[in-house]
Structure formats: structure tokens, C-alpha cells
Amino acid sequence: MEATNSLLILSLIGLISLLKLSLPILHWLYSTFLRPAKDLNRVYGSWAVVTGATDGIGLAIAVELSRRKIHLVIVGRNPAKLKKASDIIVAQGHGTQVRTVVWDLAVGGDCSGAERLRQAIAGLEVGVLFNSAGATYPGAAYFHEVKERVWREVVRVNVEGMSHVTRVVLPGMVSRRRGAVVNVGSASSVAVPSFPFYAVYAATKAWCLWFHGNRRGEDVRHEGVAEGFKLLNKMKRRGTIPYMRSPSTWQQRWFPSNSHPPSFHHQKNLPRLLFAA
């Protein structure tokens, strides 16, 4: 009898352990393949702000949001590139409006950029903010080898710039009691024990993920995306980095035709922001 009871207890413990291991997998399967996509217009609003939208991941996201009938305010430092990006988005033929804001996030204390963005979104129902602007070193280097101008620019763009943009857009979301903020981080700060030769970059991306995680209770959804395959235009020493994906591949990975993209959150669950019901 005692042996039977012991076997039953052990079986129960094993079942509980198996369930504990299986639930995250089942959740991933549901989130990736079964959960319906969100109607962003209905859930959050008809406008989105995307930083770093002149190329790379930012442009890919802006194009996809346009395909989903979301009007756009795109932010970048180069007026010519902003115009080109706007033309690309409009040429998709989805009937979305595009506004451009020139704001060089690498320039410290640029209050005029914040004011231009504030004026551009005045009266708009901005439901999504996608902080995808980022900066890093022109090449791998020890911290003491990095020019002061370069590492300060990384901090301004990745930390101060993200904070300034969020501070401009967030009040409208809070007043409407709905909205979503997505911060593009990096696996360099969470998926590996260290990221040699890019110390300041990895540190600022770690800040990015903590920044979103400590702003709960604002009636706005916050997501931090630890993307491990970003294509950073400057993050090359010579030639290409073989394991890094192109922006178009990244876009397809996040926005496939069935609207259930596999990806990961810094806490190892799926970013539910743009796709969950």
C-alpha cells in the first residue's frame, strides 16, 4: 500500500513538472499559430509614430503598419531620406497618410525636434509608438578606444532620444486610456552573458528593456523586443555579418501573411502587442 501511495505521489509530481514545462510551449503554439491578429485601428487608434523609419527595421515596420491601414508619423534626422521613405510607403497604395518629422535624436538638448513632433501629432489618435531608432559604434572597439563623440551619440539616441519621443507621445495615450509602446532592444543585452567591443551599445539596449518594464500602470501597453537579428547599418567592421538578417527578412519574420509571427520578448514570451486578440 505504501509503495502504491509513493508511486502515486511521484507520478503526481512528475505530471506537475511536465505541465510546468509544457505550458510555455502550448502558449507559444497558441500565440504563434492560433491566436487571431489584432485590429490595430480598433484596439489602439488610427495613427502610429515610428522612429528610425528611413531605413532598416523602422522602414519595414512603417510599410507593414501602412498595409494594415494605420496612418503614420515617421521620425528621422535626414529630410531627404524621410521624403524617400514617405514616397515608398505611399506608393504601396493602401491609402494611408504619412507625416514626416525631422528630429536628430543624436543632438542633445534639441527641444525643437520634440516640439515638431508634438505639433505633428496634435489632434491625432496615436495608438502605437514604435521606438526603432538606434545607434552603435562604426566598428568593434574596446570602450577606451571609442571616441567620446561616438559613445555619447549612442547614449543620446538609444536612451535620451527614446525617452524624449516617448514623453511626447505618451500623454495622449494615457488620456485616451489606450495605446501601445514598442521599444526595439537587442539580444546583446539579454541573450548573451556579455557583448564584447560594444559595451555602451549593449548597456543602452539593456536600459531600453528596463525602461518599458518599469512603466506599468499607465493604461498603455508596453513591450520590449529583444531582437537578435537586427541589421544595423554601422555595425560592421569589414564586409557583412553573416548571421544578421536583412530588414525585409526581419519584417517577414515579424509580420508573416498569417499574422502570427514567431519572435521573443526579453522575458522569453511572445510580443503580444501587434498581433494578440
- Active site includes 142? no
Contact between residue 44 and residue 128 where contact means Cβ atoms under 8 Å apart: yes
Q: In 3D, which of 184, 199, 74 has the Cα closest to residue 136? A: 199
Q: Distance (Å, rounded) from C-alpha 39 to C-alpha 244?
A: 31
Choosing from 44, 137, 198, 201, which is the catalytic residue? 201
Name the grid cell of 198.
Answer: 560594444
Name the grid cell of 37.
Answer: 491578429
CA 22 to chain CA mean position, Å: 28
Contact between residue 134 and residue 208 where contact means Cβ atoms under 8 Å apart: no
Name the grid cell of 124.
Answer: 491625432
Give Dmax (Cα) for the chain: 81
Positions annotated as catalytic residues are 201
